[in-house]
Amino acid sequence: MKIFTAYLCHETNSFSPLPTNLDSFRELGIFRPGMDPEASDSPLKVAGAFYEEAKRRGDEVVVGLCAHAQPSRPTRTVDYETLRDWLLDDLRRAGDDIDMVLLMMHGAMMSEECEDCEGDTLARVREIVGPDIPVGLLLDLHCNISEAMLHHATVVKACKEYPHTDFTDRAQELYDLCARTARGEIRPVAGFRRVPMFGLFQTAREPMRGFIDDLLAQEGNDGVLSFTLAHGFPWADCPFAGAGVIAYTDGDPGRANALALDTARRFFELRERGQAHLDGIDACLDRALAAPPGTVVMADMSDNPGGGAGSDATFILRRLLQRGTEDALVAYLWDPAAVEMAFAAGEGAVLPLRIGGKVGPGSGDPLDLEVAVRALKRHAHQPHIADNAPTALGRTALVETQGVQVVLNDIRQQPFHPAGLVECGAEPWSRRLVVVKSSHHFYNGFHSRAVEIIHCDAPGTLNSDISRLPYRAITRPVWPLDEIDAEQAFAGSDTRPATVGAG
């Protein structure tokens, strides 16, 4: 078989102050045909899983555009269309003997003029390959499922784990489903049910763990081909924002719809219990300081660059200093100007430094501090959560004031793994408290050595009180903005008619 694969990802936060353009994608590396997909620094990202699976099966594989940017505002129209058209050109040039197309996109990408970049790209891919070639779409679970995605893809599948540690497994499953469809062995038909809720559902703990395990156990049995729980992305302001369930069966649309509805009801039942309890800054600091000896890891969820926040909020740092909390470490605080000044002063220098609070109101006010520069690094990296590939943190400066250390950097990135902090010169496990600007992706890297993990709901861009957001386009009612019960959530019979792309 001959496979075409490509990767175009952006999680769009309509309310982020950070603009998105072609340079935002270039910052994290762009792969184009003609480059060596096996070079150690090839930015294939998840398309690498499709590439490896093709090689393992002895299939011919063409890798097209691979590009992604850190979450931020809708992409500038001309730049989205440029990236999309590169992908489409790569597909056309791959030849007309392609047997299937496997794409990885985020599922919540918007440009200034297009609220559904995945659906838009998929429609054009379908136009090129025609109705009979299987097109598989792999998504991040923080996706908002659109009609166009379901209609134009043969199979849509999202990762199941949050943190997202299972992209390789899901990529292999999607590959297999599309390959069997291409050979005429199965005929995937989708049932879809929207779940009118927003939330952040962590799958490592109950009750989500058991729910996910049950869905995994059903897949592959008795004609059930695939389940996807779309958790939704509440910060993408579009009419189809929110959770959803996609079930695929082998040629049985009625059963696919019934499975989607049943699973959607179960998911909605977990809307409160499936999420971590969140407290504000002081309650979290009290809890951290009362923990047993060792290192407590506290997540500044509201300033997670992985959700479109500036990563330069000062709310927690300010409280740490006001409370005289020594022996703490904060990472990574994105402040290119402060990094520049720390480099200009040099390692060992003591200087007045204005830190953070620059990107927008969600960042709070800057802090004027006298800091000692403990360590500087020009090209720091950390292992990526999905594939352990080295992920750039940019230039980093470890600075210290009043016993509190801060890792400043100039590429917005959340901490995935303590090895990144160590590379920046910090010693996370010798600190009492490590504050990470991350919602949950830090978890797998940190939880085994932390005495306690605390998720903090500080003020900031991604604060859990989404009722303050100036939504214009979302569909109401939606929980928790509207108090609805299961009966209201699933009233009527709007379970989507089974939608089939190719196959």
Question: Where does this chain bind Zn ion (CB under 5 A)?
Answer: 140, 142
Q: How far is the CB of 460 from Zn ion (least distance, A)?
A: 18
Smallest distance, Zn ion to C-beta of residue 171, A: 15
Q: Which residue is nearest to Zn ion (CB)?
A: 142
Residue 191: how many CB atoms within 10 A of its CB? Answer: 28
How many CA atoms does the CB half-sphere of 293 hold within 13 Å?
1
Minimum distance between the CB of residue 141 and Zn ion, rounded to whole angstroms?
Answer: 6
Q: Which is nearer to Zn ion, 188 or 306 (CB)?
A: 306
Query: Using H for helix, E for strand and C for coil, what is the string for 443-457?
Result: HHHHCCCCCEEEEEC
4: helix, strand or coil: strand
- Report CA-CA distances (Å) from 86 to 79, 89, 91, 153: 11, 5, 9, 19
Of 71, 108, 106, 10, nearest in space to 334 by CA: 71
Nearest distance from C-beta of residue 164 to Zn ion, angstroms: 6
**Chain centroid, CA 381 distance in Å:** 19
Least distance in Å: CB of 61 to Zn ion?
Answer: 26
Distance CA 320, CA 458 (A): 13
Q: How far is the CB of 292 from Zn ion (least distance, A)?
A: 31
Structure token pair of residue 290: 């009362």
User: Residue 302 in contact with residue 407, Cβ under 8 Å?
Assistant: no
Nearest approach in angstroms of CB 418 to Zn ion is: 21
| Comparison of 120 and 140: residue with beta carbon closer to Zn ion | 140
Please give the biggest Cα pair distance in the chain: 69
297 touches 451 (CB < 8 A): no
Structure-block tokens of residue 75: 């992409």
Q: CA-based Rg of the chain, rounded to a whole angstrom?
A: 23
Output 68 or 126, the one with its CB closest to Zn ion.
68
Q: HSE-up of 252 (CA within 13 Å, CB side)?
A: 13
Instruction: For Zn ion, give the closer residue by CB, 84 or 106.
Output: 106
Question: Nearer to Zn ion by C-beta: 230 or 376?
Answer: 230
CB-based contact 63:51 (threshold 8 Å) = yes
CB contact set of 92 (below 8 Å; sequence gap of 6+): 128
- Tell me if 92 sits within 8 A of 46, measured CB to CB: no
Least CB distance from residue 204 to Zn ion, whole Å?
14
Nearer to Zn ion, 90 or 140 (CB): 140
Closest to Zn ion by CB, 68 or 142: 142
State how far the alpha carbon of 281 is from the alpha carbons of 83, 133, 156, 157, 480, in Å: 40, 52, 39, 37, 22
**Cβ 477 to Zn ion shortest distance, Å:** 25
Nearer to Zn ion, 108 or 179 (CB): 108
Cα 337 to chain centroid distance, Å, stands at: 27
**159-163, long-range: CB within 8 Å, 24+ apart, which pairs?**
160/203, 160/212, 160/215, 160/216, 160/228, 160/229, 161/203, 161/204, 161/212, 162/200, 162/201, 162/202, 162/203, 162/204, 162/231, 162/440, 163/204, 163/385, 163/440, 163/441, 163/442, 163/443, 163/444
Look up residue 449 and give its two tokens. Answer: 């050595």
H or E element, residue 307: none
Measured from the CB atom, the residue of 236 and 373 that comes closer to Zn ion is: 236
Amino acid in position 450: A
- For Zn ion, the closer of residues 223 and 383 by Cβ is 383
Query: Residue 54 or residue 200: which is nearer to Zn ion going by CB?
Result: 200
**In whole angstroms, how close is the CB of 116 to Zn ion at the nearest point?**
17
Beta carbon of residue 142, minimum distance to Zn ion (angstroms, whole number)? 4
Closer to Zn ion by Cβ: residue 233 or 268: 233
Min. distance of Cβ 129 from Zn ion in angstroms? 28
